[in-house]
Structure 1
Amino acid sequence: MKARNWVVGAIVLFAVIGIVARLLTNPMGLLMQILFVLLFIAGIFFLFRFFTRKSNHHSNQNAFAKAARQSKKRFKKKKNAKSSTAISARKKTFRKKSNAHLTVIEGKKGKKDKKKNRAIF
């Protein structure tokens, strides 16, 4: 463990000496190099975020937008119903069926259910 600390300390020391030497000999070159490295890291970061957020974020955003539209419709219906109760009493509104595809999955049944379903001889 101590040997690793010495190696890391030596690397940090050489890095500091190199940066100071570069700063004294060519300060503009050092600034340009730091700027280039920062731009490169920022480019990789934004590309990574673009490709990882695209699929998951898009589906979540669509679901959120759909829920927001439905909420606005409900709010408008309630507001209109309060203002004109006579018109809404005559008019029948048909609700659109949900697109949710739900299925029931049967699990293991308990021992009591098996006893009830047996044939009696």
Structure 2
Amino acid sequence: MFRHRFSVWIYILLGLAIIGLGSKLLTNPTGFIMNILIIAGLGALIYGAIYFFIIRKRTTDDLIKYKKAVKQSKKKYKNQQTKKASTSKAIKKNQPILKKKKQVKKTDAPHLRVIDGKKQKRKDRATF
């Protein structure tokens, strides 16, 4: 029963708010627009302050390490691409043009690596 009364009050409050906004819009539209802009500006200012002082400070050490690793990886592979391009140009200039067969090149994923676990501490199944 309390829930039913609560929803009735919410509908009454929303109805009065809609009537108030409508009358304000019809009687003074420029003032209404100014009020909306001021409220939006204050909301953006408060959000910016909260983001700047609270949310931005919550960056974890793992995130910082990840960003650093990404930056190093980009730098490394950018240099490799420029080296490949310069060496391939030098080879093309020195060698005569021959018909080449397309070779299927096996691509490795250099950004993936195997992490060795604790292999020496395996339990001997026969001792159970």
What TM-score do you get using the length of structure 2 for normalisation?
Answer: 0.53
Structure showing greater relative contact order (alpha-carbon pairs closer than 8 Å, 6 or more residues apart): 1
Deviation at 1:28, TM superposition (A): 2.6
Residue 7 in structure 1 maps to residue 9 in structure 2? yes
23-32 vs 35-44, which moves further? 23-32
The alignment's C-alpha RMSD in Å is: 3.4
Which residue matches 1:99?
none
Aligned ranges 1:31-50 → 2 under 5 Å: 31-50=33-52
Provide closer, same or farther for how the CA distance between residues 47 and 71 of structure 1 changes in structure 2, counting only shifts above 3 A: farther
- Once the 2 structures are TM-superposed, how far is the Cα of residue 84 of structure 1 from its aligned partner? 4.1
Q: Sequence identity, in percent? A: 25
Report how far residue 72 of structure 1 moved.
0.8
Matches within 5 A, 1:54-69: 55=59, 59=64, 61-69=67-75
Measure the CA separation in 1 of the matches of 2:46 and 2:79: 42
Q: How high is the TM-score relative to the length of structure 1?
A: 0.55
Residues paired across the two proteins, number: 96
Q: More helix by proportion, 1 or 2?
A: 1
* Matches of 1:83 and 1:25, distance apart in 2: 75
Structure 2 distance, partners of 1:26, 1:82, is 72
1:77 to 77, 83, 95: 83
